[in-house]
Structure 1
Amino acid sequence: MYFIRPQSSFSRMNIEIHGVNSNQVKDAPSIFDIYGNIIQFIGSNVVVSYTEFDQRAITKCLLDHDLPLPSWQWVDASVMVRDTCQRFSTSGYNLANVCKEWRYAFDHHDALEDAKACGFVTITILRENNASITKWLNAQPSHPRNSNNSTQRFTQKRSIEGNE
Protein backbone atom coordinates (compact mmCIF):
# COMPACT_ATOMS: atom_id res chain seq x y z
CA MET A 1 0.00 0.00 0.00
CA TYR A 2 1.20 3.48 -0.85
CA PHE A 3 0.38 6.83 0.57
CA ILE A 4 0.32 9.27 -2.32
CA ARG A 5 1.33 12.88 -1.86
CA PRO A 6 -1.48 14.88 -3.43
CA GLN A 7 -0.77 17.95 -5.52
CA SER A 8 -3.67 19.75 -3.81
CA SER A 9 -4.59 20.77 -0.28
CA PHE A 10 -6.11 18.41 2.26
CA SER A 11 -9.80 18.54 3.04
CA ARG A 12 -10.58 18.79 6.76
CA MET A 13 -13.46 16.35 6.26
CA ASN A 14 -11.16 13.74 4.67
CA ILE A 15 -8.63 14.14 7.49
CA GLU A 16 -11.40 13.54 10.02
CA ILE A 17 -12.67 10.45 8.18
CA HIS A 18 -9.38 8.78 7.29
CA GLY A 19 -6.96 10.27 9.81
CA VAL A 20 -4.36 10.98 7.11
CA ASN A 21 -2.90 14.47 7.07
CA SER A 22 -0.37 16.36 4.97
CA ASN A 23 2.45 15.66 7.43
CA GLN A 24 2.03 11.91 6.96
CA VAL A 25 2.42 12.11 3.18
CA LYS A 26 5.02 14.86 2.82
CA ASP A 27 7.67 12.32 1.77
CA ALA A 28 5.31 10.00 -0.11
CA PRO A 29 5.55 9.55 -3.89
CA SER A 30 3.29 11.54 -6.18
CA ILE A 31 0.80 9.94 -8.56
CA PHE A 32 3.38 10.53 -11.32
CA ASP A 33 5.92 8.44 -9.39
CA ILE A 34 3.67 5.39 -8.99
CA TYR A 35 1.27 5.57 -11.94
CA GLY A 36 3.17 2.88 -13.87
CA ASN A 37 3.27 0.62 -10.81
CA ILE A 38 -0.50 0.89 -10.42
CA ILE A 39 -1.13 0.10 -14.08
CA GLN A 40 1.25 -2.87 -13.94
CA PHE A 41 -0.18 -4.16 -10.64
CA ILE A 42 -3.79 -4.16 -11.88
CA GLY A 43 -2.97 -5.29 -15.40
CA SER A 44 -6.09 -6.83 -16.95
CA ASN A 45 -7.62 -7.80 -13.59
CA VAL A 46 -11.07 -6.62 -12.54
CA VAL A 47 -11.08 -3.81 -9.98
CA VAL A 48 -13.57 -4.21 -7.13
CA SER A 49 -14.55 -1.34 -4.87
CA TYR A 50 -17.27 -0.78 -2.33
CA THR A 51 -19.46 1.86 -3.94
CA GLU A 52 -18.15 3.96 -6.80
CA PHE A 53 -16.16 6.30 -4.55
CA ASP A 54 -12.76 4.80 -5.41
CA GLN A 55 -13.52 4.76 -9.12
CA ARG A 56 -14.54 8.42 -9.04
CA ALA A 57 -11.52 9.39 -6.89
CA ILE A 58 -9.02 7.60 -9.13
CA THR A 59 -10.61 9.00 -12.28
CA LYS A 60 -10.53 12.53 -10.87
CA CYS A 61 -6.92 12.17 -9.77
CA LEU A 62 -5.79 10.91 -13.16
CA LEU A 63 -7.75 13.56 -15.06
CA ASP A 64 -6.45 16.33 -12.76
CA HIS A 65 -2.89 15.21 -13.52
CA ASP A 66 -3.42 14.65 -17.27
CA LEU A 67 -2.61 10.94 -16.96
CA PRO A 68 -4.18 8.35 -19.26
CA LEU A 69 -7.30 6.59 -17.99
CA PRO A 70 -6.85 2.81 -18.05
CA SER A 71 -9.57 0.55 -19.47
CA TRP A 72 -10.28 -1.19 -16.19
CA GLN A 73 -13.45 -3.12 -15.56
CA TRP A 74 -15.00 -2.25 -12.20
CA VAL A 75 -17.37 -4.18 -9.98
CA ASP A 76 -19.18 -2.43 -7.15
CA ALA A 77 -19.36 -4.88 -4.24
CA SER A 78 -22.10 -2.81 -2.56
CA VAL A 79 -24.34 -3.56 -5.53
CA MET A 80 -23.45 -7.25 -5.26
CA VAL A 81 -24.57 -7.09 -1.62
CA ARG A 82 -27.84 -5.36 -2.50
CA ASP A 83 -28.60 -7.83 -5.27
CA THR A 84 -27.83 -10.99 -3.31
CA CYS A 85 -28.72 -10.19 0.31
CA GLN A 86 -32.36 -9.35 0.86
CA ARG A 87 -31.64 -7.82 4.25
CA PHE A 88 -29.49 -5.17 2.53
CA SER A 89 -31.43 -4.80 -0.71
CA THR A 90 -32.63 -1.25 -0.02
CA SER A 91 -30.82 0.07 3.04
CA GLY A 92 -28.10 -0.56 5.58
CA TYR A 93 -25.68 -1.93 2.97
CA ASN A 94 -22.71 0.24 3.89
CA LEU A 95 -19.46 -1.64 4.39
CA ALA A 96 -19.42 -1.30 8.18
CA ASN A 97 -22.96 -2.67 8.56
CA VAL A 98 -22.42 -5.59 6.21
CA CYS A 99 -19.15 -6.57 7.87
CA LYS A 100 -20.69 -6.30 11.33
CA GLU A 101 -23.57 -8.53 10.25
CA TRP A 102 -21.14 -11.04 8.74
CA ARG A 103 -18.83 -10.87 11.78
CA TYR A 104 -15.84 -9.47 9.93
CA ALA A 105 -13.90 -7.06 12.15
CA PHE A 106 -11.89 -4.27 10.56
CA ASP A 107 -10.75 -0.68 11.15
CA HIS A 108 -13.27 1.22 9.02
CA HIS A 109 -11.96 4.12 6.90
CA ASP A 110 -8.42 2.81 6.90
CA ALA A 111 -7.72 2.28 3.17
CA LEU A 112 -6.05 -1.11 3.49
CA GLU A 113 -8.58 -2.36 6.04
CA ASP A 114 -11.48 -1.20 3.84
CA ALA A 115 -9.93 -2.96 0.83
CA LYS A 116 -9.58 -6.20 2.78
CA ALA A 117 -13.18 -5.91 3.99
CA CYS A 118 -14.36 -5.29 0.43
CA GLY A 119 -12.43 -8.37 -0.66
CA PHE A 120 -14.01 -10.42 2.11
CA VAL A 121 -17.51 -9.31 1.09
CA THR A 122 -16.84 -9.97 -2.60
CA ILE A 123 -15.33 -13.41 -2.05
CA THR A 124 -18.14 -14.37 0.33
CA ILE A 125 -20.81 -13.44 -2.20
CA LEU A 126 -19.02 -15.18 -5.07
CA ARG A 127 -18.43 -18.33 -3.03
CA GLU A 128 -22.03 -18.48 -1.76
CA ASN A 129 -23.32 -18.03 -5.30
CA ASN A 130 -20.81 -20.42 -6.87
CA ALA A 131 -19.68 -17.64 -9.18
CA SER A 132 -16.53 -15.95 -10.38
CA ILE A 133 -15.96 -12.26 -10.84
CA THR A 134 -16.03 -12.83 -14.60
CA LYS A 135 -19.44 -14.46 -14.27
CA TRP A 136 -20.68 -11.37 -12.42
CA LEU A 137 -19.36 -9.10 -15.14
CA ASN A 138 -21.05 -11.11 -17.88
CA ALA A 139 -24.33 -11.82 -16.10
CA GLN A 140 -27.60 -10.25 -17.09
CA PRO A 141 -29.36 -8.14 -14.44
CA SER A 142 -31.59 -10.42 -12.41
CA HIS A 143 -33.12 -8.09 -9.88
CA PRO A 144 -36.59 -6.67 -10.67
CA ARG A 145 -35.37 -3.10 -10.18
CA ASN A 146 -33.07 -3.66 -13.17
CA SER A 147 -35.83 -4.78 -15.49
CA ASN A 148 -36.05 -1.43 -17.26
CA ASN A 149 -32.67 -2.21 -18.89
CA SER A 150 -31.18 1.13 -17.90
CA THR A 151 -27.83 0.75 -16.20
CA GLN A 152 -26.82 -2.79 -15.30
CA ARG A 153 -26.28 -1.91 -11.67
CA PHE A 154 -24.95 -5.13 -10.25
CA THR A 155 -22.22 -5.64 -12.79
CA GLN A 156 -20.98 -2.07 -13.00
CA LYS A 157 -19.35 -3.12 -16.27
CA ARG A 158 -17.83 0.25 -16.91
CA SER A 159 -14.32 1.07 -17.77
CA ILE A 160 -12.63 4.08 -16.32
CA GLU A 161 -12.57 5.60 -19.82
CA GLY A 162 -14.87 8.19 -21.29
CA ASN A 163 -18.59 8.25 -20.64
CA GLU A 164 -19.36 4.55 -20.45
Structure 2
Amino acid sequence: MSTLPTLPICGEPATVRIELYTADSLDACAYTCPAHTTHATAVIARAGLDAHPVGVATGVARPCGYVHVYATGTLAEPADQGHPRWCDRDDCQRRGEHRSRARHVNTNRPEAFIVDVALVQALHPAAEPMVNLTSVEGSAAASLVLSIGQARVLRYRLAHLLGMATKAGPNGGRWV
Protein backbone atom coordinates (compact mmCIF):
# COMPACT_ATOMS: atom_id res chain seq x y z
CA MET A 1 0.00 0.00 0.00
CA SER A 2 3.04 2.24 -0.07
CA THR A 3 2.08 3.75 -3.45
CA LEU A 4 -1.33 4.87 -2.16
CA PRO A 5 -1.20 8.62 -1.53
CA THR A 6 -2.46 10.29 1.63
CA LEU A 7 -5.97 11.57 0.94
CA PRO A 8 -7.91 14.32 2.69
CA ILE A 9 -9.98 13.08 5.65
CA CYS A 10 -12.78 15.11 7.18
CA GLY A 11 -15.13 12.38 8.35
CA GLU A 12 -18.22 13.89 6.72
CA PRO A 13 -20.54 11.45 4.92
CA ALA A 14 -19.06 10.45 1.56
CA THR A 15 -21.15 10.93 -1.57
CA VAL A 16 -18.44 10.00 -4.11
CA ARG A 17 -16.54 6.74 -4.52
CA ILE A 18 -13.27 7.09 -6.42
CA GLU A 19 -12.14 3.87 -8.07
CA LEU A 20 -8.33 3.58 -8.12
CA TYR A 21 -6.84 1.57 -10.97
CA THR A 22 -3.31 0.36 -11.66
CA ALA A 23 -2.56 -1.50 -14.89
CA ASP A 24 -6.25 -1.86 -15.77
CA SER A 25 -7.01 -3.51 -12.43
CA LEU A 26 -9.37 -2.09 -9.80
CA ASP A 27 -7.10 -1.95 -6.75
CA ALA A 28 -8.89 0.31 -4.25
CA CYS A 29 -11.83 2.62 -3.66
CA ALA A 30 -11.59 5.95 -1.86
CA TYR A 31 -14.68 7.68 -0.48
CA THR A 32 -14.96 11.49 -0.33
CA CYS A 33 -17.38 14.27 0.38
CA PRO A 34 -18.09 16.78 -2.43
CA ALA A 35 -15.61 19.29 -0.97
CA HIS A 36 -12.66 16.86 -1.22
CA THR A 37 -13.40 14.96 -4.45
CA THR A 38 -11.41 17.22 -6.78
CA HIS A 39 -8.41 17.38 -4.45
CA ALA A 40 -8.42 13.61 -3.83
CA THR A 41 -8.69 12.85 -7.55
CA ALA A 42 -5.71 15.13 -8.27
CA VAL A 43 -3.60 13.54 -5.49
CA ILE A 44 -4.42 10.07 -6.82
CA ALA A 45 -3.46 11.08 -10.38
CA ARG A 46 -0.16 12.59 -9.18
CA ALA A 47 0.65 9.23 -7.54
CA GLY A 48 0.38 7.57 -10.97
CA LEU A 49 -2.97 5.91 -10.39
CA ASP A 50 -6.05 6.22 -12.57
CA ALA A 51 -8.94 7.78 -10.64
CA HIS A 52 -12.56 7.33 -11.71
CA PRO A 53 -15.13 9.11 -9.51
CA VAL A 54 -18.59 7.50 -9.36
CA GLY A 55 -21.53 7.86 -7.01
CA VAL A 56 -21.78 5.93 -3.76
CA ALA A 57 -24.30 3.10 -4.01
CA THR A 58 -27.59 3.47 -2.16
CA GLY A 59 -27.35 2.08 1.35
CA VAL A 60 -23.56 2.41 1.56
CA ALA A 61 -22.38 4.74 4.31
CA ARG A 62 -18.69 5.68 4.42
CA PRO A 63 -16.94 8.71 5.89
CA CYS A 64 -14.86 11.07 3.74
CA GLY A 65 -11.32 9.73 3.64
CA TYR A 66 -12.23 6.04 3.98
CA VAL A 67 -10.16 3.85 1.64
CA HIS A 68 -10.80 0.19 0.88
CA VAL A 69 -7.83 -1.63 -0.67
CA TYR A 70 -8.75 -4.86 -2.46
CA ALA A 71 -6.64 -7.77 -1.27
CA THR A 72 -6.28 -8.98 -4.86
CA GLY A 73 -4.91 -5.67 -6.13
CA THR A 74 -1.37 -4.42 -6.53
CA LEU A 75 -1.80 -1.99 -3.61
CA ALA A 76 -2.40 -4.79 -1.07
CA GLU A 77 -0.08 -5.06 1.90
CA PRO A 78 2.98 -7.27 1.31
CA ALA A 79 2.22 -9.01 4.62
CA ASP A 80 -0.48 -10.96 2.76
CA GLN A 81 2.04 -12.63 0.45
CA GLY A 82 1.36 -15.97 2.15
CA HIS A 83 -2.09 -15.93 0.57
CA PRO A 84 -2.97 -16.39 -3.10
CA ARG A 85 -4.29 -13.18 -4.70
CA TRP A 86 -7.81 -14.66 -4.82
CA CYS A 87 -7.90 -15.76 -1.14
CA ASP A 88 -10.63 -14.25 1.05
CA ARG A 89 -8.06 -14.19 3.92
CA ASP A 90 -10.67 -15.02 6.53
CA ASP A 91 -9.90 -17.88 8.89
CA CYS A 92 -7.52 -19.83 6.60
CA GLN A 93 -5.70 -21.46 9.53
CA ARG A 94 -8.89 -22.84 11.12
CA ARG A 95 -10.18 -24.18 7.79
CA GLY A 96 -6.77 -25.52 6.81
CA GLU A 97 -7.07 -24.02 3.34
CA HIS A 98 -7.19 -20.82 1.38
CA ARG A 99 -10.64 -20.13 -0.06
CA SER A 100 -11.99 -17.52 -2.45
CA ARG A 101 -15.36 -15.96 -1.90
CA ALA A 102 -18.10 -18.29 -3.08
CA ARG A 103 -19.65 -17.34 -6.40
CA HIS A 104 -23.36 -18.13 -6.44
CA VAL A 105 -24.76 -19.78 -9.56
CA ASN A 106 -27.94 -17.73 -9.71
CA THR A 107 -30.34 -17.97 -12.66
CA ASN A 108 -32.87 -15.56 -11.11
CA ARG A 109 -35.41 -18.39 -11.28
CA PRO A 110 -36.38 -21.06 -8.76
CA GLU A 111 -34.03 -24.04 -9.03
CA ALA A 112 -33.96 -27.44 -7.34
CA PHE A 113 -30.44 -26.87 -5.97
CA ILE A 114 -28.45 -23.91 -4.70
CA VAL A 115 -25.02 -24.07 -6.34
CA ASP A 116 -21.84 -22.20 -5.35
CA VAL A 117 -18.36 -22.35 -6.83
CA ALA A 118 -15.08 -21.27 -5.20
CA LEU A 119 -11.33 -21.73 -5.44
CA VAL A 120 -9.64 -23.65 -2.63
CA GLN A 121 -6.02 -24.50 -1.91
CA ALA A 122 -4.42 -26.41 0.95
CA LEU A 123 -2.03 -24.37 3.12
CA HIS A 124 0.94 -26.54 2.08
CA PRO A 125 3.33 -24.43 -0.08
CA ALA A 126 3.33 -27.00 -2.92
CA ALA A 127 -0.48 -27.33 -3.03
CA GLU A 128 -2.26 -26.42 -6.25
CA PRO A 129 -5.53 -24.46 -6.39
CA MET A 130 -8.68 -26.49 -6.97
CA VAL A 131 -12.29 -25.64 -7.88
CA ASN A 132 -14.93 -26.49 -5.26
CA LEU A 133 -18.53 -26.93 -6.45
CA THR A 134 -21.10 -27.09 -3.66
CA SER A 135 -24.78 -27.87 -4.09
CA VAL A 136 -27.41 -27.55 -1.39
CA GLU A 137 -30.94 -28.93 -1.35
CA GLY A 138 -32.81 -28.30 1.87
CA SER A 139 -30.49 -29.39 4.68
CA ALA A 140 -28.36 -31.69 2.50
CA ALA A 141 -25.15 -30.45 0.90
CA ALA A 142 -22.64 -32.08 -1.42
CA SER A 143 -19.24 -30.86 -2.61
CA LEU A 144 -17.14 -31.80 -5.59
CA VAL A 145 -13.51 -30.69 -5.82
CA LEU A 146 -11.95 -30.52 -9.30
CA SER A 147 -8.41 -29.84 -10.39
CA ILE A 148 -7.91 -26.71 -12.47
CA GLY A 149 -7.41 -28.96 -15.51
CA GLN A 150 -10.68 -30.79 -14.89
CA ALA A 151 -12.51 -27.49 -14.38
CA ARG A 152 -11.08 -26.14 -17.64
CA VAL A 153 -12.22 -29.22 -19.60
CA LEU A 154 -15.61 -29.08 -17.84
CA ARG A 155 -15.98 -25.47 -18.97
CA TYR A 156 -15.48 -26.51 -22.60
CA ARG A 157 -17.78 -29.53 -22.29
CA LEU A 158 -20.52 -27.38 -20.73
CA ALA A 159 -20.16 -24.76 -23.46
CA HIS A 160 -20.51 -27.49 -26.10
CA LEU A 161 -23.56 -29.02 -24.42
CA LEU A 162 -25.20 -25.63 -23.92
CA GLY A 163 -24.57 -24.81 -27.55
CA MET A 164 -26.27 -28.03 -28.61
CA ALA A 165 -29.18 -27.42 -26.23
CA THR A 166 -29.78 -23.87 -27.43
CA LYS A 167 -28.76 -24.51 -31.05
CA ALA A 168 -26.53 -21.46 -30.88
CA GLY A 169 -22.88 -20.84 -30.45
CA PRO A 170 -19.86 -19.24 -31.98
CA ASN A 171 -19.10 -19.67 -35.68
CA GLY A 172 -22.70 -19.70 -36.87
CA GLY A 173 -23.87 -22.36 -34.43
CA ARG A 174 -20.88 -24.70 -34.95
CA TRP A 175 -18.45 -25.26 -32.12
CA VAL A 176 -14.87 -25.56 -33.22
TM-score, normalized by the shorter chain, greater than 0.5: no
Q: Which has the higher contact order (CA 8 A, sep 6+)?
A: 1
State which structure, 1 or 2, has the greater radius of gyration over its C-alpha atoms: 2
Structure 1 length as normaliser, TM-score?
Answer: 0.29
Q: Which has the higher helix share?
A: 1
Structure 2 length as normaliser, TM-score?
Answer: 0.28
Q: Which has the higher strand share?
A: 2
